[in-house]
């Protein structure tokens, strides 16, 4: 009986040793394969970005072979159809910048004051309720915002401003600002919450009021994150599509009158891609030239945000 027990025990030990060897071999293979697999996954985003840039670049070069680059960036007339087609991008740039400016005039004060309230005045219970409700605005589809601007905001503004056209740049600009409020408020509030309480307590101990602490201590200390939220909000406004497509119309006017219909770069891209632009035509290539201009604008805004965040970042 003792021999049989010893044999069973030796057999069990061998099985455990073999199982351990197999586990070690499998772990060794995984250790060698996983870094390469993760590198491949990470490289997908890089190759995708390069593919987008190269696609835009090659097609944009084809456009500038037919239309001088100076005429494109300084032309005030955009008439892509007809025999005497003109491709001046300034009407689109003007519409994009004006709509973005209106949006930020709405989003910055409301978003910043909301962030100050959430960070400095609201209790934990109020913050847990109020902040998710505020961020619900970020989850609403932009096409819903577009119809809201066209069917509600525009008629309301026309009752106040008699000369306002049925499609205009003012209404979508305001609604874009409403859409961007959660981004500005959330990022700014996060930056303010990162400011140490010792700075607040020190200011209060010296006799500062709550309002003075908020605007003279906390906001300057969190300025890098606040400015970054502003720049990211501008980038979001520049790249907005559906709101301006529905509510601003398709008139390619070079004007600074916010009551008139104007077209943005994104709205023009939607119009061309949804139309009958034959592949290889100048109209077709203009789509990529405008898209490359939009890409450069957005890239510049993101670089500015990164620069501001790094330059004015406070380490606590």
pLDDT of the residue at 24? 55
**Residues 281-295: tens digit of each pLDDT:** 888 888 889 999 888
Q: Average of pLDDT values for 162-169?
A: 86
Between 26 and 123, whose confidence is greater? 123
Q: Which residue is associated with the tokens 């890409």?
A: 295
Same domain, residue pair 130 and 250: yes
Please say whether the beta carbons of 172 and 146 come within 8 A. yes
3-state secondary structure 288-316: HHHHHHHHHHHHHHHHHHHHHHHHCCCCC
Question: Which residue, 12, 32, 66, sits at the end of a domain?
Answer: 66
- The answer to the question of residue 124 being in a domain is yes
Residue 69, pLDDT > 80, answer yes
Q: Among the three residues 66, 90, 118, which one is the final residue of a domain in this structure?
A: 66
pLDDT for res 25: 62
Please tell me which residue, 75 or 279, carries the higher pLDDT value.
Answer: 75
Residue 44 CB contacts under 8 Å (≥ 6 apart), including other chains: none
Is residue 72 a part of any domain in this protein? Answer: no
How large is the angle between the packed helices 282-311 and 265-273, nearest 10 degrees? 150
Predicted confidence band of residue 315 (pLDDT cuts 50, 70, 90):
low
Place of tokens 């840039």: 53
- Going by pLDDT thresholds of 50, 70 and 90, the confidence category of residue 28 is low
Same domain? For 59 and 133 the reply is: no
d(CA 172, CA 158): 13
One DSSP character per residue, 147-206 reads HHIIIIIHHHHHHH-TT--SS-SHHHHHHHHHHHHHHHHHHHHHHHHTS-HHHHHHHHHT
The percent of residues in the chain predicted with pLDDT above 90, rounded, is 13
Last residue of a domain, one of 38, 66, 94: 66
Q: Residue 86's Cα: distance from chain center in Å?
A: 31
Q: Do residue 180 and residue 100 come from a single domain?
A: yes
Residue 72, pLDDT above cutoff 50: yes
Domain interval for residue 102: 78-311
The reply to whether 208 and 277 lie within a common domain is yes
Per-residue burial over 222-257, b = 16 or more CB atoms within 10 Å of its CB, e = otherwise: bbbbbbbbbbbbbbbbbbbbbbbbbbbbebbbbbee
pLDDT at 4: 46
Does the structure show a pLDDT above 60 at 231?
Answer: yes
Domain count, the chain: 2
Based on the fold, state whether residues 51 and 86 are members of the same structural domain. no
Answer whether residue 73 shows pLDDT above 90.
Answer: no
> Which position has the higher pLDDT, 137 or 296?
296
Q: Is the same domain home to 83 and 50?
A: no
Tell me if 293 is assigned to some domain: yes
- Which residues neighbour 178 within 8 Å (Cβ) at sequence distance 6 or greater? 106, 107, 137, 145
pLDDT digit string, tens, across residues 168-208: 899 999 999 999 999 899 888 888 888 888 888 888 888 88
- Interior/surface letters 77-102, b for 16+ CB within 10 angstroms, e for the rest: ebebeeeeeebbbbbbbbbbbbbbbb
- Per the document, the length of the chain is 316
Tell me, yes or no, whether 23 and 83 share the same domain.
no
């Amino acid at each position: 009986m003792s021999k049989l027990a010893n044999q069973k025990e030796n057999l069990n030990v061998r099985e455990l040793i073999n199982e351990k060897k197999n586990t070690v071999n499998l772990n060794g293979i995984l250790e060698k394969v996983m870094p390469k697999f993760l590198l491949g996954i990470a490289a997908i985003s890089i190759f995708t970005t390069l593919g987008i840039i190269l696609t835009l670049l090659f097609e944009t070069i084809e456009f500038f072979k037919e239309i001088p680059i100076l005429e494109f960036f300084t032309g005030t007339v955009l008439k892509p159809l007809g025999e005497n087609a003109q491709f001046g991008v300034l009407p689109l740039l003007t519409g994009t910048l004006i709509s973005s400016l209106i949006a930020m005039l709405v989003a910055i004060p409301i978003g910043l004051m909301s962030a100050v309230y959430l960070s400095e005045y609201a209790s934990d219970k109020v913050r847990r309720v109020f902040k998710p409700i505020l961020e619900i605005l970020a989850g609403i589809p932009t096409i819903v915002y577009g119809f809201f601007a066209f069917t509600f905001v525009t008629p309301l503004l026309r009752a106040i401003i008699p000369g306002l056209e049925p499609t205009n740049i003012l209404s979508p600009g305001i609604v874009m600002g409403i859409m961007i409020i959660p981004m500005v408020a959330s990022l700014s509030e996060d930056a303010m919450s990162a400011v140490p309480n010792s700075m607040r307590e020190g200011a209060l101990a010296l006799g500062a009021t709550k309002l003075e602490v908020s605007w003279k201590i906390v906001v300057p200390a969190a300025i890098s994150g606040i400015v970054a939220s502003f720049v990211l909000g501008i980038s979001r406004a520049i790249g907005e599509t559906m709101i301006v497509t529905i509510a601003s119309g398709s008139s390619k006017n070079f004007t600074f009158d916010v009551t008139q219909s104007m077209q943005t770069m994104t709205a023009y891209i939607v119009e061309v891609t949804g139309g009958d632009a034959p592949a290889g035509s100048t109209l077709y290539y203009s789509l990529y030239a405008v898209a490359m201009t939009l890409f450069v604008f957005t890239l510049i805004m993101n670089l500015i945000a990164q620069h501001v965040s790094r330059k004015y970042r406070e380490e606590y």
